[in-house]
Amino acid sequence: MGLNIKDYLNTPILFIIVLLVISLMFVFPVLNMVLLGAILAYGIRPVANKIQSKLKYSSISILLAVVIVLIPLILLVAYIIFEVSTFVTWILANNPDTNVNSAMYQISAYLPAGVDINSINSYLDSAINNVGSYILNYSVKFVSKFANITLDLFILVCSVFYFVRDGDKCLNFIRSFVPDDSKDFFDNTIKAIENVLKSIFYGHFLTSVIIGIFGCIGYSLLGYPFGIFLGVLTGILQLIPVFGPWPIYWALFFIDVASGNYIRAVIVLFFGFFLSTVDMYIRPALSSHYADIHPLILLIGFLAGPLVYGIVGFIIGPLVLGITYAVLDNYRNEYLLGDD
């Protein structure tokens, strides 16, 4: 017997579909903040529960947990934007053309005779100017949208608060619409999603924070300008599979070699090996108990996420792809391989 669509598309269902479409039109402009709030709420809830065991007041505990976790994250993003602008201004103020020319003159001694050093120098000058102009223009646009940013942050904080407080009610509400024969699949899917979130939070984000802290300390001790900023960049790049933070190490290495600081060049290279070794031990220890996510999923999420949702997509991208993978894998195990 064929499926009769008319049996399902009755008047109440059509009315609900219309309302859902209209609601989605209103929610879509801030959907990224709502999704990010739901994801962050999962990580903040254990902190809120820990505080609530001491205070006994749910709302106050959640607010304190949001302040402890979310406010530093917002300040970190603001710090990165400020430091990038300051870094670009510092480069431009220190006459980058002269610095590039000097560095290329020293490097040319190690290049083959047929290499045109002038064309390389011209290309680097153009690249530096283009990158600097792009960053400055982006910073100006970012500041000009202060009102929208404030609204997004307000929605983010509210989303985190209510998802932490009423997340279980939301899941139970959704579960009430699931047919009885699919409730086991729904429950297993939720558990798989929790494992993915724990794997990404503990195995990747927490590892990135630890590596970033080590980087801040190491670069500052080695005497690099903007040492803290370089450490933050190292932590962020640590999230991206395949690439990792090696562009930072090698860039500093070549800069030191070009400037004649050979001792620090060797030290920063060994420092990079040290951080990579730390990552090899920390990441498996933190994420071995949870889902094993393929690096390609994380790579696509980290690189494509910002193209869709801007800076927020850097967090949402890998999490959404990881959750999608968990749902598909659970469906495969439940319905396609269940009878084998």
Say if 22 falls within a structural domain.
no
The 10s digit of each residue's pLDDT in 33-51 is 888 888 888 888 888 888 8
Say if 30 falls within a structural domain.
no
Which strand (E) or helix (H) includes residue 102?
Answer: helix 96-107
Say if 107 falls within a structural domain.
yes
Identify whether residues 147 and 197 lie together within a single domain. Answer: no
Domain boundary residue, one of 177, 211, 239 = 177
DSSP 64-88: HHHHHHHHHHHHHHHHHHHHHHHHH
Q: Collect all residues with Cβ–Cβ distance below 8 Å to 47 and sequence separation of at least 6.
A: 65, 68, 69
Say if 25 falls within a structural domain.
no
User: Which residue range is the domain that position 92 belongs to?
Assistant: 35-177
Identify whether residues 237 and 269 lie together within a single domain. Answer: yes
Q: What is the pLDDT of residue 322?
A: 83
Residue 226 has pLDDT above 50, yes or no: yes
Domain boundary residue, one of 157, 177, 197 = 177
Identify whether residues 167 and 233 lie together within a single domain. Answer: no
Residue 98 has pLDDT above 50, yes or no: no
Q: What is the pLDDT of residue 198?
A: 79
Write a three-state SS string for 180-209. Answer: HHHHHHHHHHHHHHHHHHHHHHHHHHHHHH
Identify whether residues 209 and 143 lie together within a single domain. Answer: no
Task: Indicate the DSSP class of residue 332.
Answer: I
Say if 18 falls within a structural domain.
no
Identify whether residues 172 and 189 lie together within a single domain. Answer: no
Residue 118 has pLDDT above 70, yes or no: no
Say if 15 falls within a structural domain.
no
Identify whether residues 114 and 218 lie together within a single domain. Answer: no
Identify whether residues 200 and 270 lie together within a single domain. Answer: yes
Say if 238 falls within a structural domain.
yes
Residue 339 has pLDDT above 80, yes or no: no
The whole-model pTM stands at: 0.66
Give the mean pLDDT of 156-172: 88
Identify whether residues 95 and 118 lie together within a single domain. Answer: yes
Q: What is the pLDDT of residue 114?
A: 57
How many Cα atoms within 13 Å fall on the side-chain side of residue 36?
24
Domain boundary residue, one of 153, 177, 201 = 177
Total domain count, the chain: 2
Identify whether residues 108 and 248 lie together within a single domain. Answer: no
Q: How far apart are CA 278 and CA 271, in angstroms?
A: 11
Give the mean pLDDT of 23-32: 85
Closest by CA to 212, choosing from 80, 47, 27, 39, is 80
Residue 107 has pLDDT above 60, yes or no: no
Closest by CA to 326, choosing from 210, 195, 209, 232, is 195
Identify whether residues 151 and 277 lie together within a single domain. Answer: no
Say if 20 falls within a structural domain.
no
Identify whether residues 136 and 206 lie together within a single domain. Answer: no
Identify whether residues 218 and 239 lie together within a single domain. Answer: yes
CA distances from 319 to 128, 190, 198, 322 (A): 33, 14, 10, 5
Residue 287 has pLDDT above 70, yes or no: no
Residue 209 has pLDDT above 70, yes or no: yes
Q: How far apart are CA 103 and CA 77, in angstroms?
A: 32
